[in-house]
Amino acid sequence: MIQHSQAAWTLLLVTGLIVAAQAAAFKLFFWDTPLKNGTGFFLGIEVPPGFYQGAGARWLGRYRALILSVNVILALALIAILISGRWLLLPLWAGGVAVLHTAALLGFGAYARAKLGASPPVESRVAISLESRRLRDYFSLPGEAVMAAIIVASWLLLLLRGDARVDWFAPAVMTYTVMGLFFLAIGAVRIGLPPLPADRPEEHQRWVEESRRYGVRWMTAFQWVVVAVLASYALLHGWPLVAATPWAIWLLVGIILAIWLGQVLTTFIGGRRLTAMGRGLRPPGSWSTPFRQAKGTPRGWMVFFWAWFAGLAALIVYSVR
């Protein structure tokens, strides 16, 4: 627990900012996401005309009930953190918001696809892009190296000079999160998305490619937030001078806030841009080809995500015991 009372109101400010961002995310997921491709689609699955006057209203209700439940759980967790004063759980909570929303969306999306999208339209003529996808076009190798160096340095600092108050689950959860996101981002580049419609392939390709880059950008930004928290934790517990210097704590909080705000902006600006780009286009996975079934997210990526998510949930539950 951070003992500096000077930093307490800063943490309250951080909480306020997180809640504001969370409210915006709630609006995005609750209202915009299911209909982002227009009324001809539900979560990217093609639906018949008049769907939202019938069964669609029930589907929308179920989806929104799920998102509401997720947010109620998150709100209760936040209240518990604030009352108990376990401020260090705040970054974990902020991370949990993103992960839990993604898990809810992926889980409900897969369920809806199995029920509603079982017989999607089949196109016999399809286009495929001949552009090569190389990891170096999506990742900054120096950036990744710096991130790895910060993680290693943080661990070394904690192992060699960590004080008695080090809770080893905190750096373990953070490192696990960053590693998982790294492999998920690589998977996002490597996975093959369905072919493009032969009609307007250029526009579809630009949209699909931007979605891929958005996913990688979002995961990298998320990694940086977690790495910043890990490094701050290591400095606070491994370098007594930092813990005793108010301005140093302010600086760390400021850095984390700035990186986190960057991630929030990436989410909202990128998401809005993607929605605008995809207007009038057919989402990948809303139609099938004779060579390949319609799929939202490839199975391999999903399996890895759920395994990582289960591990993360187990670690968090164990660490807040």
Partner 1 sequence: MFLTVDADDKRPLYQQIADGVKALIASGELREGMALPSVRQLAGDLGVNLNTIAVAYRQLQEEGFLRVRHGAGTVVTSERPTRIEEEALRKPLRSALTQWILGGRDDSEIVAAVRRELALIHQKGESR
Whether 229 contacts 177, CB under 8 Å: no
Query: Min. distance of Cβ 130 from partner 1 in angstroms?
Result: 5
Q: Can residue 192 be called a binding residue for partner 1 (CB under 8 A)?
A: yes
Q: Which is nearer to partner 1, 128 or 310 (CB)?
A: 128
- Contact between 126 and partner 1 per CB under 8 A: yes
Rounded to 5 degrees, φ, ψ at 198 are: -65, -20
Q: Among residues 142, 160, 247, 291, which is the contact residue for partner 1, using CB under 8 A?
A: 291
Cβ atoms within 10 Å, residue 275: 15
User: For residues 290 and 200, is the Cβ–Cβ distance under 8 A?
Assistant: no
Q: What angle do the packed helices 169-190 and 201-238 form, to 10 degrees? A: 160
CA distance 37 to 313: 31
Q: Does 167 bind partner 1 (CB under 8 A)?
A: no
Smallest gap, in angstroms, from Cβ of residue 292 to partner 1? 2
Size (the chain), residues: 321
Residue 205 vs 319, nearer CB to partner 1: 205
CB contact at 8 A, 278 and 35 = no
Site membership for partner 1, residue 289 (CB under 8 A): yes
Q: Cβ 219 to partner 1, closest distance in Å?
A: 20
Half-sphere exposure of 167 (CA within 13 A, CB side): 16
Shortest Å distance, C-beta 293 to partner 1: 8
Contact between 266 and partner 1 per CB under 8 A: no
Biggest distance spanned by C-alpha atoms of the chain: 68
DSSP structure class, residue 46:
E
List the x/- string, 85-124, binding to partner 1 by CB under 8 A. Answer: ---------------------------------------x
Residues whose CB falls within 8 Å of the CB of residue 126, separated by 6 or more in sequence, listed in order: 195, 196, 197, 198, 289, 291
* 171 is a contact residue toward partner 1 (CB under 8 A): no
292 lies in the binding site for partner 1 (CB under 8 A): yes
- Give the helix/strand (H/E) hosting 41: strand 41-42
Tokens describing residue 286: 């809303």
Quick check: 131 binds partner 1 (CB under 8 A)? yes
132 binds partner 1 (CB under 8 A): yes
128 interacts with partner 1 by CB under 8 A: yes
193, 242, 253, 255: which one binds partner 1 (CB under 8 A): 193
Contact 180, 313 (CB under 8 A): no
How many other CB atoms sit within 10 Å of the CB of residue 85? Answer: 12
Tell me if 129 contacts partner 1 by CB under 8 A: yes
Residues 62-91 contacting partner 1, CB under 8 A: none
CA distance 285 to 261: 32
Q: Applying CB under 8 A, does 296 fall inside the site for partner 1?
A: no
Per CB under 8 A, does 275 bind partner 1?
Answer: no
Give me the 202-241 binding string for partner 1, x by CB under 8 A, dash otherwise: x--x------------------------------------
Please answer whether residues 182 and 138 qualify as being in contact, where contact means their C-beta atoms are separated by less than 8 angstroms. Answer: no
Residues linked to residue 42 through DSSP beta bridges, in sequence order:
45
By the rule CB under 8 A, 148 interacts with partner 1: no
# residues contacting partner 1 (CB under 8 A): 26
**Does 299 engage in binding with partner 1 (CB under 8 A)?**
no
Query: Contact residues for partner 1 (CB under 8 A)?
Result: 124-133, 190-196, 198, 201-202, 205, 289-293
